[in-house]
């Protein structure tokens, strides 16, 4: 491709983003929508409709482009999506997958299903990988992240990038979750005056609002499970290394995990299975041979001993009331509850975790930047300086205190960091989750995921009250959250977590709970004025 052609292609993409940001449906309005009810549709239902000829992947793609055009910058004005692939390119992929299906070949449950990626994951399709920052608005990676290759091989159609908390919420101590200088403020679809939590805000909101069937998010500590719970959807934060971290703009290699975001446990499982795979470029990556979908069992709670982590309650009365009521659902489905479980050795990893995140952010970011020589930045210090230079655009509401603290870390502190990392992993893992499971002889632990959504506050920042995310996040263990009801009009979630590689057990429990409770409800998508 000539230089002139490349420039023309980039200009066309910029035009697309401009039109999209203005909320225009453009090409999607030209063809009538199929008479198919896409509301709350599952992956299995989409596959059935495409297998029977009721739908094509091309029609499915067109539908979700319409949905995004209707509610991303117009309608509910959710600001959940930063970029879309040009429609003609997405349709070309869909037609190829339709042709494969017509020839009797499908690649699996995601064949022909549109997917959004959090905007910190590399793609080689011309979509920028921005981390939500205007500093990276022209950063177009030369190759797909490993998990993106896996999704494409499974037949998923990557149509665009979801908004997020800028730099995955690791820039400021006073940030507003879901705000980025690229995409603006993501809004909770159940009440657009309230926070979507973060940092995988746009991924969660797009799925919850039926703008997309599936999305990928990432978590360091809470960035999958908090937005999932607050927006009324399911996520699975997998065991560290089971999903490759390569090609993702990092915070911490000790804790970063990508995971699926979906409206049901089964959809999340199908997507997780597609993302798995051993990646030589990721030192923690390993192969998973377990068929997770075989653990989607209606009786998955029968006979399970479950520890009730009341130590992780008490910060919101309404949340606790919902949680108490839903515990009976577990019992009715055959589980045995072990009450008042607590961490025998306390929750004493917080300061060490923060040391690890600061240290690894500086050095992991430099390693990522080194993989992209066309970028103007080579270090966190370069990014910090660029933020200062463009402060009016990138820091209109809050600063970069975390950048400054991380950038102050030095090589001389390596030994201190390594000791902190070892202590944190030991405290949350072996002496935390593992010891608690053994002491109380339980299969898994449950707790409320986090409090209901707070008001968006660009002056004071987020208003977190409490969360169940840290033990599994610091240990690198799996964590699933499932909708468990509402506090007034706001959804809340139940967390299921256990030891390393316990996804199969957690999937059984989470799926059986979901089937018995049926607490997922779609938002009305009507903006609130109070």
Active site (annotated) includes residue 200:
no
Tell me the pTM. 0.95
Residue 231: both structure tokens together: 């927006």
Number of other residues whose CB lies within 10 A of the CB of residue 13: 20
pLDDT over threshold 50, residue 462: yes
Phi, psi of 362 (to 5 degrees): -60, -50
pLDDT, position 30: 53
Domains of the chain, by residue range, sit at: 3-26+38-517
Which one of 133, 176, 199, 252 is the catalytic residue?
199
Active site (annotated) includes residue 344:
no
User: Over the stretch 393-443, which tens digit does the pLDDT of each residue have?
Assistant: 999 999 999 999 999 999 999 999 999 999 999 999 999 999 999 999 999
Architecture of the domain defined by 3-26+38-517: Alpha-Beta Complex (3.90)
Return the C-alpha torsion angle 312, 314, 315, 321, nearest 10: 110
Return the C-alpha torsion angle 101, 103, 105, 107, nearest 10: -40
pLDDT over threshold 80, residue 197: yes
Active site (annotated) includes residue 118:
yes
Beta bridge partners of 336: 305
Smallest CA-to-CA distance from 508 within 225, 266, 239 is with 266
pLDDT, position 355: 98
3-state helix, strand, coil in the chain (%, to 5): 40, 15, 45
Which one of 223, 252, 264, 495 is the catalytic residue?
223
- The arithmetic mean of pLDDT across residues 184-193, rounded, is 98
pLDDT, position 13: 46
H/E segment holding residue 414: helix 414-425
User: Over the stretch 275-293, which tens digit does the pLDDT of each residue have?
Assistant: 999 999 999 999 999 999 9
Smallest CA-to-CA distance from 521 within 495, 484, 494, 496 is with 484
Residue 299: both structure tokens together: 């009786």
Smallest CA-to-CA distance from 88 within 7, 173, 16 is with 16
SS3 455: strand
Residue 488: both structure tokens together: 């007034």
Contact of 279 with 487, CB cutoff 8 Å: no
Q: Which residues contact residue 473 at a Cβ distance below 8 angstroms, ignoring those fewer than 6 apart?
A: 219, 220, 221, 222, 237, 255, 428, 479
Return the C-alpha torsion angle 460, 194, 255, 395, nearest 10: -40
For residue 239, CA distances in Å to 354, 433, 480, 506, 513 come to 20, 13, 11, 12, 21
Distance CA(126)–CA(122), nearest Å, equals 10
pLDDT over threshold 50, residue 518: yes
- The arithmetic mean of pLDDT across residues 36-46, rounded, is 97
User: Over the stretch 263-274, which tens digit does the pLDDT of each residue have?
Assistant: 999 999 999 999
Distance CA(110)–CA(113), nearest Å, equals 5
Distance CA(415)–CA(430), nearest Å, equals 22
pLDDT over threshold 50, residue 247: yes
pLDDT over threshold 50, residue 6: no
Maximum alpha-carbon separation in the chain: 68
* 38-47, 138-147, 338-347: the lowest-pLDDT one: 338-347
């Amino acid at each position: 491709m000539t230089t002139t052609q490349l420039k023309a292609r980039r200009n066309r993409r910029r035009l697309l983003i401009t039109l999209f940001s203005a909320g225009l449906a453009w090409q999607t309005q030209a063809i009538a929508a199929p008479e198919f009810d896409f509301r709350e549709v599952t992956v299995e239902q989409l596959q059935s409709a495409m297998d029977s000829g009721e739908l094509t992947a091309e029609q499915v793609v067109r539908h979700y482009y319409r949905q995004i055009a209707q509610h991303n910058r117009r309608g509910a004005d959710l600001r959940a999506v930063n970029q879309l692939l040009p429609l003609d390119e997405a349709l070309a992929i869909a037609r190829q997958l339709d042709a494969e299906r017509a020839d009797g070949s499908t690649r699996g449950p995601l064949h022909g299903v549109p997917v959004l990626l959090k905007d910190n994951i590399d793609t080689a399709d011309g979509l920028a990988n921005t981390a939500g920052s205007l500093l990276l608005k022209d950063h177009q990676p030369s190759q797909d992240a490993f998990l993106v290759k896996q999704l494409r091989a499974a037949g998923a159609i990557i149509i665009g990038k979801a908004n997020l908390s800028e730099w995955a919420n690791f820039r400021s101590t006073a940030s507003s979750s879901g705000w980025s200088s690229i995409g603006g403020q993501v809004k909770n679809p159940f009440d657009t005056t309230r926070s979507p939590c973060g940092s995988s805000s746009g991924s969660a909101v797009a799925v919850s609002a039926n703008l997309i069937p599936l999305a990928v998010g990432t978590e360091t500590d809470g960035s999958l499970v908090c937005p999932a719970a607050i927006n009324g959807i399911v996520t699975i934060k997998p065991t560290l290394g089971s999903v490759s971290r390569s090609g993702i703009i990092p915070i911490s290699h000790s804790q970063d995990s990508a995971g699926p975001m979906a409206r049901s446990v089964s959809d999340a499982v199908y997507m997780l299975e597609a993302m798995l795979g051993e990646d030589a470029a990721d030192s923690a990556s390993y192969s998973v041979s377990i068929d997770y979908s075989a653990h989607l069992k209606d009786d998955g709670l029968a006979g399970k001993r479950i520890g009730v982590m009341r130590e992780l309650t008490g910060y919101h009365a309404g949340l606790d009331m919902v949680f108490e009521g839903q515990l009976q659902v577990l019992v009715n489905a055959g589980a045995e509850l072990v009450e008042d479980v607590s961490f025998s050795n306390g929750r004493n990893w917080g300061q060490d975790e923060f040391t690890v995140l600061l240290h690894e952010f500086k050095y992991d970011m430099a390693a990522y930047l080194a993989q992209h020589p066309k970028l103007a930045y080579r270090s966190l210090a370069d990014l910090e300086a660029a933020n200062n230079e463009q402060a009016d655009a990138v820091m209109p509401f809050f600063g970069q205190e975390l950048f400054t603290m991380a950038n102050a870390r030095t090589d001389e502190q390596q030994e201190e960091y390594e000791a902190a990392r070892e202590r944190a992993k030991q405290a949350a893992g072996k002496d935390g989750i593992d010891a608690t499971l053994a002491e109380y002889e339980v299969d898994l632990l449950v707790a409320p995921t986090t409090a209901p959504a707070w008001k968006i506050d660009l002056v004071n920042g987020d208003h977190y009250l409490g969360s169940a995310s840290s033990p599994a996040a610091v240990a690198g263990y799996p964590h699933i959250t499932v909708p468990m009801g509402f506090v007034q009009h706001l959804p809340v979630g139940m967390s299921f977590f256990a030891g390393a590689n316990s996804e199969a057990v957690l999937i059984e429990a989470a799926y059986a709970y979901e089937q018995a409770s049926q607490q997922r409800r779609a938002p009305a998508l009507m903006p609130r004025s109070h």
